Structure 1
Amino acid sequence: MPNVPAERRRVTLQRPGPLLIEGPVEVTSENGTTVSSDRFRVALCTCRRSSIYPWCDTSHRRRAGADDPRRAQPPPT
Structure 2
Amino acid sequence: MTVDPQGPVLVEGPVEVVRDDGTVARSDRFMVAVCTCRRTRTPPWCDTSHRRRTKEGEPGRPRDDCEDTP
Please classify the TM superposition score into its range, dividing by the shorter chain length. Answer: 0.7 to 0.9
Identity %: 60
The structure where helix makes up a greater share of residues is 1
TM-score (norm 2): 0.74
Aligned 1:39-58 pairs, distance under 5 A = 39-58=29-48
Deviations for 1:13-64, whole angstroms, at most 9, x for unmatched residues?
Answer: 112210000000110011111010110000000001000010000001122x
Q: CA RMSD in A?
A: 1.4
* AA of the residue aligned to 1:24: P
Q: Which has the higher contact order (CA 8 A, sep 6+)?
A: 2
User: Could you list the runs of 5+ residues in structure 2 that have no partner in the other structure?
Assistant: 56-62, 65-70
In the other structure, the counterpart of 2:3 is 13
TM-score (norm 1): 0.68
Q: 2:22 aligns with which of 13, 24, 32?
A: 32
Give the ranges of 4+ consecutive aligned residues of structure 1 lying more than 3 Å apart after TM superposition: none
- How many residues are aligned here? 57
